[in-house]
Structure 1
Amino acid sequence: MAIKKFMQLVEIKTKTASMIPFLFGTVYAIFRFHEFHVEHFLLMLFSLLSFDMATTALNNYYDYKKAARKHGYGYEVHNPIVSYKMKPTRVLLLLCILLLIAVGAGIVLFLRTDLLILLLGGLSFAVGILYSFGPIPISRMPLGEIFSGLFMGFVIMFISAYIQAGDRLASLTLQGGIAVLQVHLLEVILIFLVSIPAILGIANIMLANNICDIEEDIENKRYTLPVYIGKANALVLFKLMYYAAFVDLLVLFFVGVNPLLCLLVLVTLVPINKNIQRFTQQQTKQHTFGLAVKNFIMMNAARIAVLTVAIFMTQI
């Protein structure tokens, strides 16, 4: 399979939705706990990226198989299996290879850490598969935004911080055949609050995608959130989630979690607000869907950059 076809099949541009929480969790662990393990970082990188690509390819394959209408609504363009005339058997083979890499790297990471990674990793794998596969995939229900936001925005960030900080966050051990879970509740709550902009940004990528596809989804019996609440309400929700992310940023500053430098992230509100207005005026995959991805990158990459600078400043 040619590289271009592969990149389109796995929608490589959308991998920022998993890579940014992963990087931010790592930077957060360095900033708060002063810990960094290169081997753990690389193992999670290979596992996460391979699995993210596999689930995207699976989603495209499942849409290809389940589409009720195969003409119109841009189906011939938006589904790479159709537009590049890919052989379904080769797509399935690629899926298996990506999953093997993801599982293999994940198992090695578990062996280097502890049982909690096995539990959280297994749960994430299950949700990722059920997102696109099964009798009623999550992506075909009004729960896609919640699951994608929580698992990609929070769980990925928590795992990436946990493999660096270890029992400073939590631990899961076996004692006499009994599983004992210990959680540093305050630290976990703080990570959840820090991850809210990532959670909401990823949820908005999914929401924007579903808003753009609302007519096609109705035709193909995909009952997503915009189908249930209507396009007008979905656009209001799209806007409010961005503003809530910036409120969270201010709250974390006032409670002393975010350093003063993080206030610089507020500057991104100007271009993000312009993108919100543009998407509100027109919702298409070709022209405006990418604005949700840009907003997510701007808002969260800025936080990673600022926190990285704060780390270097503490070392001076």
Structure 2
Amino acid sequence: MTRKQFMHIVEMRTKIISMGTFLCASIYALSVRGSLNILTWLVMGLATLLVDMGTTGFNTFFDYWRGTDNAIYTKEEDKVLVHQDVSAFSALLVSLLLFGFAALLGLYLAWLTSWYLIFVGGACMLVGFFYTAGPYPISRTPFGELFAGLFLGTVLFLITVFVQDVTLTRLHVVVTLPFYLLIAMILSVNNGCDLVGDTASGRKTLSIVVGKRKAFTLIAGEGLAAYVLSYALVVLGFYPVTLALCLVPSLALFCIALAKVKREGLDAEHKSVHMRFASISYVHFCMAFLLAYVLNIAFSAPVF
């Protein structure tokens, strides 16, 4: 296995999603506390990255092992288990090692902060594994968006804030909801493009349940709802006023790209392009969020 093949197995380019949530949660914690524990921050960030890489590695292995990824329906050249001579078991071994290192970091983080993290972190790793593993993997059900948004958006955000010694309340859960929706949208784009292949392999993803015609509506609804909710949270005082301005270019770019997705349609041939749209849209949102809080901190605006 080459370094490039390893990067494809763990889909390194998609790690901007978990890292985006982590960074946004970090600056949110900074705005609340006024400082960050750098050691805790570094350990949390590395553990997050390793869990995300391991989860994707397991997904790569099990999707190939079950035949979901195959030469007939899988057009992406990045799927190296399908299109290149890479051992599937090497992908499994890499994923196990990544989870092992993440578990060690998780134990250290729990020692630094709270032993409750062992249970929460363990739950995150179990969900990551059983997303494509086991007799009834989550990825084959209509609940993929629910779990992806919940764990890569809400739970990751809350853990990142918690390890910075912030007492969590319902307010903090509300703050995570736009991240939840946008991450759910990313998975909906993926599943919408895989409708034909997923149907053939017996999956019942949410995109399949709602049908081909409504798959785009689902994507647009999740994405636009995230922005509407963000502005509502600004009005309600959950987010700083600076975010209202910072989100304008992000929203404009999202709408333009969304219109292009509608014109081109959801299919395997356009999957790479559409997944790039989904990922970049999330990055734009995170950049707007980060900039808004930087401005908020710089001008010493009140934090809610």
Do these two structures clear the TM 0.5 threshold for a shared fold by scoring above it?
A: yes
Structure 1 Cα separation of the partners of residues 254 and 181 of structure 2: 13
1:230 aligns with 2:230: no
Aligned-CA RMSD value: 1.7
Instruction: Map 1:138-149 to 2 at 5 A.
Output: 138-149=138-149
Structure 2 Cα separation of the partners of residues 125 and 93 of structure 1: 16
Instruction: Map 1:253-272 to 2 at 5 A.
Output: 253-264=234-245, 265-272=247-254
Query: Is the Cα contact below 8 Å between 2:10 and 2:54 reproduced in 1?
Result: yes
Q: Paired residue for 1:199, among 159, 165, 180? A: 180
* SS of aligned partner of 2:272: coil
Query: Is the Cα contact below 8 Å between 1:209 and 1:285 reproduced in 2?
Result: yes
Going from structure 1 to structure 2, the CA distance change for 1:195 and 1:120 (only over 3 Å counts) comes to same
Going from structure 1 to structure 2, the CA distance change for 1:38 and 1:190 (only over 3 Å counts) comes to same
* SS of aligned partner of 2:36: coil
Structure 2 Cα separation of the partners of residues 281 and 230 of structure 1: 18
Structure 2 runs not aligned, ≥5 long: none
1:298 aligns with 2:284: yes
Structure 2 length-normalised TM = 0.92
Query: Is the Cα contact below 8 Å between 1:279 and 1:289 reproduced in 2?
Result: no
1:26 is aligned to: 26
Structure 1 length-normalised TM = 0.89
Instruction: Map 1:1-316 to 2 at 5 A.
Output: 1-67=1-67, 70-74=70-74, 77-166=77-166, 168-169=167-168, 188-264=169-245, 265-282=247-264, 283=266, 284-314=270-300
Structure 1 Cα separation of the partners of residues 213 and 286 of structure 2: 27
Q: How many aligned residue pairs are there?
A: 296
Question: Deviating runs (4+, > 4 A) in structure 1?
Answer: none
Going from structure 1 to structure 2, the CA distance change for 1:288 and 1:232 (only over 3 Å counts) comes to same
Structure 2 Cα separation of the partners of residues 69 and 10 of structure 1: 15
Structure 1 runs not aligned, ≥5 long: 170-187
Structure 1 Cα separation of the partners of residues 124 and 146 of structure 2: 14
* SS of aligned partner of 1:164: coil
- Listed one character per residue, the Cα deviations across residues 290-316 of structure 1 (whole Å, up to 9, x for unaligned) are 11111111112211122123223329x
Structure 2 Cα separation of the partners of residues 239 and 112 of structure 1: 41
Query: Is the Cα contact below 8 Å between 2:71 and 2:83 reproduced in 1?
Result: no
The code of the aligned residue for 1:246 comes to Y
